[in-house]
Amino acid sequence: MRLLPLLLVAVLLVGCDSGGEGKPAPRPATPRAITKAELGEHLEALQEIADRNGGTRAAGTPGYDASADYVAKRLREARWRVRLQPVRFAYFNLRSASMSLGDRKLREARDFQVLSYSGAGRADGRLRRLGDGCGAAQYSGLGAGDVPLVTRGICFFREKAFNAQKAGARALVVIDDSATRRGVPSGTLAAPGIRIPVVLVADTLVREGAPVRVEVDASSGNRVTHNVIAETPGGKGERVVMAGGHLDSVRGGPGVNDNGSGAAALIEAAKAIGPDPPGSRVRLAFWGAEELGLLGSRHYVRSLDRAERKRISAYINFDMVGSPNAVPEFYADGDAELGRVLRRAAGRPLGGVSVGGASDHASFMAAGVPVNGLYTGANERGPGGRPRDACYHLACDSVERVNRPVLLRMARAGALALKRLSARHK
């Protein structure tokens, strides 16, 4: 899940439908194929893949390729038709990085993080605080020895970096107020083109005027990743019901909740639905390079002609559905009718969250496909005021932290919703 600068706003919504206020939603028939044990097997497998491949399953790495192979094998075992769709993308290779503030040498990942697609180079100077860095005018008067220090603000990191580069800065330091004792979350500039080093630093470490040294050795180049696309061999009519979730992790961690949880739920949905759905065909997708800018899902949608896009009656997104301190939600800013289907399938109240364009559903929404999704939280506040997932985009996003009872509930709700959407087109 790629959170936008705009905070996600959770709104508690009742679990009943219009026309039935005050009546509890009927408890859905649970797909028997989905169990905590089977979901757990997929989570364990993805963790093991990351452990064997440097702690990551990021796009363009052996860890991602092994993840795609694992998913494809499980789907073929469920007797679905499976294909791998190549996706070309710009790969970021960070060879080394160092940073110091005054006499203190900072630790990469724990104290600071290099943004993906950062430029390479070295900068020495003093931190000069400028605001959020979203306006070019903020950088006026920047001295030769100044290294701009900006807050996360409301614009994309790339915009801040471009403004700093244009003003002649030799590096950009962004204050990360989401950093915790577990580390600084990974982030991205979305594409190559920035020539100066750009780093995130924990907010507790920075101060105006502090001497700073930043050195980054990195490069970008073209690589190929793959979307895994699976479809039921059976089905009636021309319409297709789709669901998907990204399979890649961030560079800095194994990504077992973000988004191994969604991948596990989709695999079990395939088993629950089986090769012969009750109505229209069902298609599942496991996207590559979502963490780099929704690249896999955007490529897929662009590869469809107009008639193929119109065949897709719905797209349901599964992204982060097993958060440790979860708040189970659907996309309140998605299609209203699909939201009602998800709420009925859940059988218990779901909250509503506005996710904007923060995940792969946005690629389909832009093409006019009705979308919705399931979500349990990233670093927003959850029960007890604690983050819903304190390891969001960190190395500690590991298998033991996934909330398996919540994942089971969301997986069952998603599978049942897909079966009901399929049955509408018999």
Domain boundary among 159, 194, 220: 220
**Structural domain includes residue 4:** no
Residue 413 lies in a domain: yes
Q: Does 97 share its domain with 193?
A: yes
Shared domain for 293 and 167, answered yes or no, is no
**DSSP secondary-structure letter at 424?**
T
pLDDT of residue 424: 95
| Domain assignment present for 226 | no
Cβ within 8 Å of residue 259, ≥6 positions away? 1, 245, 246, 247, 248, 249, 290, 318, 319, 320
Residues 244 and 377 in one domain: yes
Same structural domain for residues 71 and 186?
no
What phi, psi does 315 have (nearest 5°)?
-130, 125
CA torsion angle for 189, 193, 194, 196 (degrees, to 10)?
130
Residue 96 backbone dihedrals phi, psi, to 5 degrees? -165, 160
Count the residues in the chain: 426
Residues with catalytic function: 290
CB count, 10 Å around CB of 11? 10
Q: What is the CATH number of the domain that holds 117?
A: 3.50.30.30
Q: How many domains does the chain have?
A: 2
Residues 55 and 176 in one domain: no
181 and 242 part of one domain: no
> Do 274 and 392 fall within a single domain?
yes
**Burial letters for 82-100: b for 16+ Cβ neighbours within 10 Å, e otherwise?**
bebbebebbbbebeebebb
Per the domain annotation, does 36 fall within a domain? yes
Q: Which of 175, 197, 220 is the last residue of a domain?
A: 220
Question: Which pLDDT belongs to residue 79?
Answer: 97
Gap between the Cα atoms of 181 and 173, Å rounded: 19
For residue 74, the enclosing domain spans 10-80+232-423
Buried b (16+ CB within 10 A) or exposed e, 380-413: bebeeeebbbbbbbbbbbbbebbbbebbbbbbbb
Same domain, 55 and 105: no
Residue 305: give its domain's CATH number.
Answer: 3.40.630.10
Is 413 found in the same domain as 331? yes
Considering the domain architecture, whether residues 76 and 171 belong to the same structural domain is answered as: no
Residues 158 and 285 grouped into a single domain: no
- In a domain, residue 225? The reply is no
User: What's the CA angle centered on 108, arms 105 and 110, to 5 degrees?
Assistant: 95
Q: Are 109 and 55 spatial neighbours (Cβ–Cβ below 8 Å)?
A: no
**pLDDT tens digits for 233-255?**
999 999 999 999 999 999 999 99
Pairing of strands 312-318, 371-375: parallel
Q: With a cut of 70, list the residues of the chain below it in pLDDT.
A: 2-32
